[in-house]
Amino acid sequence: MAWLIVALVLVVAAAGLLLWRRPAWYWLTFGVTLAAVRVLVRYGSVMDACGLTVPAPRWRLTVARMTNRPVPGPRAPRILRLRVTRTGLVLRLKLRPGQDAFDVAASCDRLRHSFAMYGVTSRELRSGVVELRMTGYDVLKRVQMPAHVDSRPMRVPVALREDGAVHYRDYRAVPHGLVIGATESGKSVYQRNLVAALAPQRVALVGIDCKQGVELFPLARRFSALADNPDTAAELLDALVSHMQDVYQLIRAEQRITADVPDAEIAADIWDLPEDLRPVPIVVLVDEVAELALFATKDEEKRRDRIITALARLAQLGRAAGIYLEVCGQRFGSELGKGITMLRAQLTGRTAHRVNDEASANMAFGDIAPDAVLAAISIPTDTPGVAIAADSAGGWARVRTPHTSLRHAVNVCNRHADLTPDLPALAPFRPALGTLAPVPAPAVESTPAAA
């Protein structure tokens, strides 16, 4: 008997220690079973207490009365599926007549503490079916990406969402993005994650880094073109615009051929072209965009107008030619001069890290997801990398990137250096690798993903 008590004390102590030091391990060992039992046992009473039940249908009450059976109680949404994940539980519910998804969304906070979970969010999957995602612990505290993620061409995992799901940057769905945040908020680490995730794909990376190239030049082996000052940036952007025009000519030529072939697909963008003809897609990463928009002299003003015009043209027309923009800066508002708000309107994938004021949050979300503004200004200073990600559909989520070091990103880029495409139009901007320190990549290197 004594040994049983000792074993029990040891198990409880181990669980307590894991809960305190390694919540992710606690969840996988003890937490998941306890939480699943708790949710299933308390389900009916919690739903009733949260106002998520409806009275039994009249015919059942009548039948009960006529047959002298007990009167049936109120009914909660039917559980279609309970799925256990690495970070929590996912409950799929079929709503009862008279209920709607908004009722469930409005009760998320009550469900969170009634089920003793860390977080609960809901979304409507289809009419009458709602998914409740519950997290067992603060998944953003120490981000661990799942070992297997659903990477596809031009869709890469970049962060973890607070509901435990992976946040993807999908260039084909949302071609251009804007990343803003105060200094030290995590923008560079976000960009680093993007580069590391894109590096193994068939894509050309182009970088403009006016912080003297400190962020992007170490990753140069995987970049087809780089600029580290506004003069080179202006020329590089002009070269990209003429490359875009060439791609349009290619699409036109292909359209002329297919127009005469009955039932043949007519290409509208590079993705409709046959694979052997398809130009390589390009992601253009711009770090500290304000450096490109500031000027002190007349000549610098002309250069600035040239840069903003080229960026606006790429943002307006680049998608079909497979050119995608990822613009990064501390602020991106009308105070940077003419053309900025027009350019910003085209950058519909928005990510805001911690910002210093409401005006900056409004720059990111005021026009597409006003609800996200408050969330962006409430990001605490001691959680760099936490951001609000939204798109023009109005949805938003709190996300955090894994803490990818520059060393890790450099290693990934070096390992995939042979995938760097040579684009003749951008050849003058190809970084001179001789000037880089030789950094041999290890043959195999662990990623920050969870085992």
**Residue whose CB is less far from ligand ATP, 121 or 185:** 185
Residue 182 annotated as binding?
Answer: yes
Interaction site with ligand ATP (CB under 6 A) = 181, 183-189, 384-385, 400-401, 403
Residue 186 annotated as binding?
Answer: yes
The distance of closest approach from Cβ of residue 140 to ligand ATP in the complex, given in angstroms and rounded to an integer, is: 9
The distance of closest approach from Cβ of residue 211 to ligand ATP in the complex, given in angstroms and rounded to an integer, is: 7
Using an 8 Å Cβ cutoff, are 19 and 69 in contact? no
H-helix or E-strand containing 158? strand 155-161
Output the 3-class SS for 71-139. CCCCECCEEEEEEECCCEEEEEEECCCCCCHHHHHHCHHHHHHHCCCCEEEEEEEECCEEEEEEECCCC
3-state secondary structure of 312: helix
**Residue whose CB is less far from ligand ATP, 239 or 286:** 286
Residue 188 annotated as binding?
Answer: yes
H-helix or E-strand containing 25? helix 23-26
**Residue whose CB is less far from ligand ATP, 279 or 384:** 384
The distance of closest approach from Cβ of residue 315 to ligand ATP in the complex, given in angstroms and rounded to an integer, is: 22
Q: Which residues contact 33 (CB under 8 A, 6 or more apart)?
A: none
The distance of closest approach from Cβ of residue 433 to ligand ATP in the complex, given in angstroms and rounded to an integer, is: 25
Residue 184 annotated as binding?
Answer: yes
Residue 162 annotated as binding?
Answer: no
Q: What's phi and psi for 298, nearest 5 deg? A: -60, -40
The distance of closest approach from Cβ of residue 184 to ligand ATP in the complex, given in angstroms and rounded to an integer, is: 4
Within 10 Å of residue 269's Cβ, how many Cβ atoms?
Answer: 15
**Residue whose CB is less far from ligand ATP, 115 or 365:** 365
**Residue whose CB is less far from ligand ATP, 96 or 331:** 331
The distance of closest approach from Cβ of residue 386 to ligand ATP in the complex, given in angstroms and rounded to an integer, is: 7
Q: Which amino acid is at 220?
A: A
Measured at CB, which residue is nearest to ligand ATP? 385
Residue 395 annotated as binding?
Answer: no
Residue 326 annotated as binding?
Answer: no
Residue 187 annotated as binding?
Answer: yes
Token digits for 94? 């079929």
What does 277-304 look like in DSSP terms, one character per residue?
TPPPPEEEEEESTHHHH--SSHHHHHHH
**Residue whose CB is less far from ligand ATP, 184 or 357:** 184
Q: In sequence order, what are the beta bridge partners of 387?
A: 399
The conformation of residue 246, written as its DSSP 8-state character, comes to: H
The distance of closest approach from Cβ of residue 215 to ligand ATP in the complex, given in angstroms and rounded to an integer, is: 7
**Residue whose CB is less far from ligand ATP, 122 or 401:** 401
Where is the binding site for ATP, in residues?
A: 181-188
Where is the binding site, in residues?
A: 181-188
